[in-house]
Amino acid sequence: MLKKVLLLGVTILASGHMAFAQQKPLTTNTGAPVGNNQSSKTAGENGPVLLEDVHLIEKLASFDRERIPERVVHARGAGAYGEFESYGDFTQYTQASLFNTKGKKTPLFVRFSTVVHEQGSPETLRDPRGFAVKFYTDQGNYDLVGNNLPVFFIRDAIKFPDMVHSFKPSPIYNKQDQNRVFDFLSHQPEATNMLTYLYTNLGTPANYRQMDGFGVHAFKWINAQGEVTYVKYKWTSLQGVRSLAAAEASAVQGKDHSHATTDLYEQIGKGNFPAWELSVQMIKPEDLDKFDFNPLDPTKIWPESIAPSMKIGKMTLNRVPGNFFEEVEQAAFSPGTLVPGIEPSEDKLLQGRVFSYFDTQRYRLGSNFQRIAVNAPKVEVNSNNQNGAYSDRGKNSNINYEPSVTKQGTYTDNKQYEYSTSKIDAETMQRVISKQNNFAQAGDLYRSLSEADKKHLISNLAGDLGQVSNKEIVNKMVSYFYQADADYGNRLIKALKLNKAEVTGLTAKN
């Protein structure tokens, strides 16, 4: 019997001859066979093309609509499938079923991304990296949407559109402009911590496998008794963390501007399945006011001395998507995609994201985006939501509301999974949080760096600040870094060749 290998529809026989797989008939989108896919129907050999050529019109119209709006942020990305294995039973903290049994496995999909830059941009650019995980749990989908850095630039969602506008290309010149970036950031002293992380070499990961991930925000875990625990998530790469210095990033970009995607897919293809351990830090509600910062502030980390990490499971990626557009580009994540036992905290940035992410996916993909295969849960969906573009719910019932005296074919809620309750006795207001403490953690981070990492940080940061023509903006930014650590600020002053006497606010907080 001849041995054969099937590759791209071609069977290679042991004799060396090729046997092609039988071709399938070409059809229109409605399944009708196509008679001629080479020539348009015309009025005579040299006459005009006829509008009645249905195949031509459908083919062009479909082509015209191949592109959907790209994500406003996180446009450039790569994805992979895998599974999560729980390390234990954590029902004392949360009703979330993916954490309720030791050894329990939950399928998942991950999308890694850059944040600011557009589709097709180099993956070497300095930028936070998105780290979004969709768990297909037996209670419905759960999205853990985070970044590769543990904090963020701002603490209130009302600033988010302005921040992204300043980071994106100039509306006049259509290129990113550090004058615009730092003009905005010079008014956000809370960004000092994030900027210190970003301008270390962590801002240019070597690939997607060798970087950690963070949920950034605090979330609430709720157990069956309604007891609340605040948690922060971290994914720790079992491949280790590897970053690129600026010169290395330039060299890599010259060879492959999709180096991180290439690396991820090649390693999975070789069977070198990347893995991360998931850990949580915990704080009880009664302890939230015990620290010199607000634990719900996303510009802050929770030091291990305050909230030790506990490992709760491991994620392994083992399969590459079969179709990039359908599975990676159409993958839709939201921090509001939650399961019983997990709720948003009162973090003002997170509260805004819970709305904004769902809203942007409805705009990009349509009102039924959760029905797309990569986004669809693995459990039955019983909802009275209906219609909209591409609706395929297939519900056959005259009752599309609740409650109803009719029992057959209708749905009811489950009081076991009601939202948690909390007491609120406060006046409405619009003001910044009281415990801002904008610079202390940035100083702690700077002092924790090796001398080589400090040099890279100063070089990277001075490189971008040096492009800012407005000296008032530069001086203000340098004053923030000086307030984090005097040595940090002094090195920047030297690197930027500033007159220290002209830099206001030089009061170190360390």
pLDDT digits (tens, 9 = 90+) for 176-196: 999 999 999 999 999 999 999
Which of the residue ranges 82-96, 404-418, 467-481, 485-499 would you say has the lowest mean pLDDT?
404-418
- Are residues 371 and 392 in contact, defined by beta-carbon separation less than 8 angstroms? yes
**Positive or negative: CA dihedral 328, 330, 335, 336:** negative
Q: Which of 408, 341, 327 is nearest to 93 (CA)?
A: 341
Asked whether the beta carbons of 280 and 146 are under 8 A apart, the reply is no
Q: Identify the pLDDT of residue 410.
A: 78
Q: What pLDDT does 427 receive?
A: 82
The mean pLDDT of the chain is: 91
pLDDT-derived band at 389, boundaries 50, 70, 90: confident
Give start-end residues of each CATH 2.40.180.10 domain in the chain.
Answer: 77-371
pLDDT over 50 at 280, yes or no: yes
Annotate 403-423 with b (16+ C-beta within 10 A) or e (fewer): eeeeeeebeeeeeeeeeeeee
pTM of the model: 0.90
Q: Which residues are catalytic?
A: 74, 147
User: What is the SS3 assignment for 298?
Assistant: coil
pLDDT tens profile 436-460: 999 999 999 999 999 999 999 999 9
Per-residue pLDDT, averaged over 126-155, amounts to 97
**Confidence band for 8, pLDDT divided at 50, 70 and 90:** very low
Inter-residue contact 464 to 178 (CB < 8 Å): yes
SS3 230: strand
What gap in Å lies between CA 308 and CA 177, rounded to an integer?
40
pLDDT number for residue 421: 85
Name which residue leads in pLDDT, 231 or 1: 231
304 pLDDT above the threshold of 60: yes
| Confidence bin at 47 (pLDDT 50/70/90) | confident
265 annotated ligand binder: no
Instruction: Determine the angle formed by the axes of helices 451-465 and 486-496, rounding to 10 degrees.
Output: 50
CATH superfamily of 77-371: Catalase core domain (2.40.180.10)
Q: What is the largest CA-CA distance in the chain?
A: 87
